[in-house]
């Protein structure tokens, strides 16, 4: 089932983040009229010139409401969030203001503006510690400040009838947070230095290529029968295994990762059951193909 995006008005928050930098061009290619909320101008992640840029933050309730009302928004993709776990621990109040208060502002503004479809980016971290695959029916057990902020935003979104996405660890070109495994390992390999793992390398995470996440968002927007929460995950593996895949894609398997062991308090294993999304026709990429595209982006831009 498809949808004619031509002249459809779309509002995207977090438009210059990893997901937004790929989602906005896709929407423009489809013919949508896109308005993007941009907090900081990021030189390495410029906004698509076909989109209308509005400078501001999701903490500004009046601004969010004005954008959706004046631009007669039909569909909202709420991606803006404070996503760094360490930052959330150091400044939990600011994280709650952005992740919870910002989501509240978008949802209330969307309701008042008559928006038809709202898709809110949550996280697999809302599940907390579970054994085995996590499906959407599991209780949300997030405990750290970041996890709890996303649990609150997740419940808020569902209470307003929004669609919620709980994505695994996204990777792809344009991620400039060097503390994350994929860009950090790529940069180390380009410099000829050994990558440093924050954990002991055994923590399992579900890795998913950012362009696969973009396709998931498109499907969820195009299917009016899609309701509730949807997991987006494809490749669960230990961080050490992912690190070695990246080094192989960089042709630097000789660089032995350094075990930092500083992330012992994080969730030991997270694996997502994405069956609900697969039923909509979502087909994730093979991980080696996604890594090749990702590595090429950094080679072209760094």
- Residues with Cβ within 8 Å of 92's Cβ and at least 6 positions away in sequence, in order, are 145, 149
Dihedral sign (CA 271, 181, 287, 148): positive
Q: Which of 231, 217, 277 is nearest to 75 (CA)?
A: 217
Q: Which tokens go with 148? A: 């709890």
Cβ burial 257-268 (10 Å sphere, 16+ → b, else e)? beeeeeeeebbe
Contact predicate 110/10, CB 8 Å: no
Residues 6+ apart with CB under 8 A from 57: 37, 39, 63, 80, 98, 102
Which candidate, 46, 43, 7, 44, places its Cα nearest to that of 28?
Answer: 7
Instruction: Give me the residues paired with residue 35 across strands.
Output: 11, 52
Catalytic residue among 127, 146, 217, 230: 146
* Cα-Cα end-to-end distance for the chain: 39
3-state DSSP assignment of residue 167 = strand
What is the token pair recorded at 20? 């937004």
For 76, phi then psi, to 5°, come to -120, 135
Q: Does residue 25 sit in helix, strand or coil?
A: helix
What's the half-sphere exposure (Cβ side, CA atoms, 13 Å) at 150? 29
Active site residue 146: yes
Catalytically active residues are 146
């Amino acid at each position: 089932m498809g949808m004619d995006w031509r002249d459809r008005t779309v509002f995207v928050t977090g438009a210059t983040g990893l997901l937004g930098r790929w989602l906005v061009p896709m929407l423009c290619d489809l013919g949508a009229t896109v308005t993007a909320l941009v907090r900081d101008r990021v030189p390495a992640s410029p906004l698509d010139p076909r989109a209308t840029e509005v400078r501001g933050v999701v903490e500004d309730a009046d601004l969010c409401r004005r954008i959706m009302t004046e631009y007669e928004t039909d569909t909202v993709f709420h991606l803006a969030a404070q996503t760094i776990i360490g930052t959330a621990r150091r400044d939990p109040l600011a994280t709650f203001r952005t992740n919870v208060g910002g989501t509240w502002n978008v949802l209330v503004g969307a309701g008042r503006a008559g928006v038809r479809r709202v898709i809110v980016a949550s996280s697999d971290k809302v599940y907390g510690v579970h054994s085995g695959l996590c499906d959407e029916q599991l209780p949300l057990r997030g405990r750290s400040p970041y996890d709890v902020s996303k649990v609150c935003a997740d419940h808020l979104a569902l209470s307003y009838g929004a669609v919620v996405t709980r994505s695994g660890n996204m990777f792809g070109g344009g991620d400039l947070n060097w503390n994350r495994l994929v860009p950090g390992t790529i940069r180390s390999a380009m410099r000829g230095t050994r990558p440093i793992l924050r954990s002991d390398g055994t923590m399992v995470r579900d890795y998913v290529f950012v362009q696969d996440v973009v396709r998931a968002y498109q499907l969820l927007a195009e299917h009016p029968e899609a309701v509730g929460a949807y997991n987006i995950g494809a490749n669960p593996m230990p961080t050490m295994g992912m690190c070695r895949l990246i080094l192989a894609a960089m042709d630097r398997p000789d660089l032995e990762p350094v075990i930092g062991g500083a992330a012992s308090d994080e969730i030991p294993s997270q694996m997502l059951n994405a069956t609900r999304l697969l039923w909509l026709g979502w087909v994730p990429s093979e991980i080696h193909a996604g890594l090749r595209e990702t590595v090429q982006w950094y080679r072209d831009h760094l």
